[in-house]
């Protein structure tokens, strides 16, 4: 994780929460962005993650409310961030990249919210230790091992899960957790055309080797299955839409001395698998090694960080044993035929080195120059990326901070995350992104305001869903490159209106285009206006309520496909809005234990959304789905 500035002066402290009985939730917590996160990044606390209406208590869904973030469809936790497609956005937990964030359907996150203490969103440029991404990076971090045993659990309509952790002796801590879709059979009974199932697990052991040293073993993984059932098709009634699993085992050594120097060495072993989706089996064995060092210099006025890392990925692809059906869904046959060209058995290697220095100019200002170098090898092709970056934070008085940033980021050709299915080789070269922004943060007591102008230009952009729209799926669609250009203005506000009333608001005005040849067209997911407003209210006596409004304008209504003319200023589909609600109650059962009831409703307005546009010689017709609503009723408990 990026190191916090040693001498940054935080903004005005939040008000003290009102007293509450033991085990009942405290008053609304105010988290001031930017105090601990690197300059130019956004930080979310545990309370932000757990209490946001419509996020269903999941850490990675909570980022949707931040400026610059646009979901590909309402309720789906995969995003365009400053115009970067989902395949260029990386998700990490404790420094380990996660290939699949959420279980199928309305399932929970593969990382339980109860073990996520903090989440940081790096819109770009990122800290130098993050590499091989040309879009944005989302990092979640667990808290330190507790000194006493604690646990949390929940029972929902479709699943149950929980986490328990605590010390064994003086120098050892353990954690066990997981989810299981116990109600999947009930879901399939209610919706006979759907077969769904999922599960996940987490286990961590932490050993204190000395007052300065710690060794951690962390294993986690997840399984997902989703299929459609057609009872009228006696020959092939089941169509598999997703059948995948992933597993990680991370071995980590940490050392921190009295002078503040920190050393981390880690080795991660992984296995990703996907079945019956385009290929019979896609399997990826992964090995990642990383070493980093952070050392304060110049009497604490500088923090030097440096590190090296290596990733070895062994892909094993087994094509379908039988050809696809004679009557596939439109476009599917082309995609099936493309898989042998796109995804091949191979050995990929990536080597990286990085360094940055946080320099404290005065008690309010810092500047962080950095550089990252990566070398890629795949299918006999190789590529080198040298990515410099620099970020500043300059305080004007006690309340105003200016945050300029510029940098370069590089990545292999990418797709939306799917275990073991990544394009082989380096066709078309690396994606190279020039990321720049200038932000202003203003602290007004318990309220924090921000405004950021940004521009992100990506050369050789790989974006099969944003560069084209419609059902035409082929190798050309996935291998076609474009020049991506996104620019705009992000506005944010958050804080306590009263001691028991917390608010979040964000607005993004942006333009995202794709240039292919001489034609410059809007991205298929270009939305000019995106706005979120959320209110979280502490009702007292353990009751909490929240409401959130989501609004965004429509994407271009023209299908962008080879052979079809498209306008630089096309008509757009209708705007979308939805209302999310959350109500919770906790009862204290003892000094540390509690029982809670949570009702979380996403899309209470039952609004339908346009998800695609079908075009023919007579014109283009929007295709809608829904209304999709995600009611969540959960019983929670903990100690």
Structure confidence by residue, pLDDT tens digits, 235-271: 777 778 788 999 999 999 999 998 889 999 999 999 9
Expressed as residue numbers, the domain containing 362 is 41-638
pLDDT of residue 609: 80
22 inside domain: no
239 inside domain: yes
How far is Cα 8 from Cα 55, in angstroms, rounded to an integer? Answer: 31
318 inside domain: yes
pLDDT of residue 15: 39
For residue 72, give the CATH number of its domain.
Answer: 2.40.170.20
370 inside domain: yes
Statement: residue 382 has pLDDT above 80: yes
Long-range contacts of 144-147 (CB under 8 A, 24+ apart): 145/173, 145/175, 145/206, 146/173
Structure confidence by residue, pLDDT tens digits, 405-430: 999 999 998 766 678 878 888 988 99
pLDDT of residue 472: 53
- Count of CB atoms situated within 10 Å of the CB of 529: 14
Structure confidence by residue, pLDDT tens digits, 113-134: 888 888 888 988 889 999 899 9
pTM: 0.83
Tokens of 209: 């080797």
pLDDT of residue 336: 54
User: Greatest CA span in the chain, whole angstroms?
Assistant: 76
- Count of CB atoms situated within 10 Å of the CB of 337: 15
Question: How many domains, the chain?
Answer: 1
Q: How many CA atoms lie less than 13 Å away from 42 in the CB half-sphere?
A: 30
Residue 601 near residue 73, CB atoms below 8 Å: no
21 inside domain: no
Residue 195 near residue 229, CB atoms below 8 Å: yes
- Count of CB atoms situated within 10 Å of the CB of 88: 28
Statement: residue 288 has pLDDT above 90: yes
Structure confidence by residue, pLDDT tens digits, 195-213: 888 999 999 999 999 999 9
How far is Cα 375 from Cα 386, in angstroms, rounded to an integer? Answer: 9
pLDDT of residue 241: 79
29 inside domain: no
Q: What is the mean pLDDT of the chain?
A: 82
Q: Spell out a b/e string for 268-303, using b for 16 or more CB atoms within 10 Å of the CB, else e.
A: bebbbbbbbbbbebbbbbbebebebbbebeeeeebb
How far is Cα 554 from Cα 494, in angstroms, rounded to an integer? Answer: 26
How far is Cα 302 from Cα 583, in angstroms, rounded to an integer? Answer: 46
């Amino acid at each position: 994780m990026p190191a916090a500035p040693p001498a940054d002066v935080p903004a005005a402290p939040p008000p003290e929460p009102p007293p509450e009985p033991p085990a009942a939730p405290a008053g609304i917590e105010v988290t001031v962005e930017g105090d601990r996160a690197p300059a130019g990044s956004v930080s979310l606390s545990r309370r932000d993650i757990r209490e946001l209406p419509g996020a269903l208590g999941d850490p990675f869904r909570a980022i949707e409310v931040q400026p610059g973030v646009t979901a590909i469809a309402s309720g789906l936790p995969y995003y365009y961030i400053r115009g970067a497609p989902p395949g260029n956005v990386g998700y990490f937990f404790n420094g380990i990249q996660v290939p699949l964030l959420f279980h199928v359907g309305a399932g929970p996150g593969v990382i339980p919210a109860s073990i996520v203490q903090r989440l940081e969103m790096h819109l770009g440029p990122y800290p130098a230790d993050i590499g091989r991404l040309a879009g944005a990076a989302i990092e979640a971090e667990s808290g330190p091992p507790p000194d006493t045993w604690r646990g949390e659990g929940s029972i929902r309509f479709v699943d149950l899960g929980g986490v328990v952790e605590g010390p064994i002796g003086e120098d050892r801590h353990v954690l066990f957790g997981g989810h299981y879709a116990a109600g999947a059979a009930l879901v399939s009974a209610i919706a006979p055309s759907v077969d769904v199932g999922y599960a996940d697990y987490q286990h961590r052991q932490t050993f204190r080797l000395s007052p300065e040293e710690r060794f951690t073993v962390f294993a986690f993984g997840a399984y997902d299955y989703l299929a459609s059932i057609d009872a009228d098709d006696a020959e092939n009634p089941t169509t598999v839409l997703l059948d995948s699993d992933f597993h990680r085992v991370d071995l980590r050594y940490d050392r921190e001395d009295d002078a503040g120097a920190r050393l981390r060495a880690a080795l991660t072993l992984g296995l990703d698998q996907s079945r019956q989706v385009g290929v019979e089996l896609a399997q990826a064995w992964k090995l990642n090694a990383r070493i980093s060092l952070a050392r304060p210099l110049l009497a604490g006025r500088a923090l030097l960080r440096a590190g090296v890392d290596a990733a070895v990925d062994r892909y094993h692809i087994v094509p379908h044993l039988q050809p696809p059906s004679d009557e596939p869904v439109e476009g599917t046959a082309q995609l099936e035929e493309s898989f042998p060209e796109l995804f091949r058995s191979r050995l990929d290697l990536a080597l990286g080195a990085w360094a940055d220095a946080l320099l404290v100019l005065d008690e309010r200002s810092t500047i962080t120059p950095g550089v990252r170098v990566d070398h890629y090898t795949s299918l006999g092709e190789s590529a080198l990326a040298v990515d410099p970056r620099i970020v500043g934070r300059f305080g004007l008085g006690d309340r105003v901070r200016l945050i300029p940033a510029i940098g370069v980021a590089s990545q292999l050709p990418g797709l939306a995350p799917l275990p073991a299915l990544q394009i082989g080789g380096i066709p078309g070269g690396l994606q190279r992104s020039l990321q720049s922004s200038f932000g202003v943060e203003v602290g007004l007591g318990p309220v924090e305001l921000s405004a950021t102008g940004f521009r992100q230009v990506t050369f050789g952009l790989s974006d099969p869903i944003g560069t084209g729209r419609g059902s035409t799926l082929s190798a050309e669609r996935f291998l076609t490159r474009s020049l991506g250009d996104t620019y705009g203005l992000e506005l944010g506000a958050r804080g306590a209106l009263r001691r028991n009333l917390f608010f979040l608001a964000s607005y993004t005005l942006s333009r995202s285009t794709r240039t292919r040849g001489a034609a410059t067209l809007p991205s298929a997911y270009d939305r000019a206006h995106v706005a979120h407003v959320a209110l979280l209210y502490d009702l007292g006596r353990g009751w909490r309520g929240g409401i959130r409004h989501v609004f965004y304008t429509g994407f271009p209504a023209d299908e962008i496909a080879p052979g079809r003319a498209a306008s630089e200023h096309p008509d757009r589909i209708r705007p979308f809005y939805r209302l999310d609600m959350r109500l919770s109650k906790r009862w204290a059962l003892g000094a540390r234990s509690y029982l809670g009831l949570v009702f979380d409703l996403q899309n209470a307005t039952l609004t339908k959304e346009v998800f695609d546009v079908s075009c023919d010689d007579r014109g283009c017709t929007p295709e809608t789905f829904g209304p999709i609503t995600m009611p969540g009723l959960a019983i929670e408990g903990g100690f």
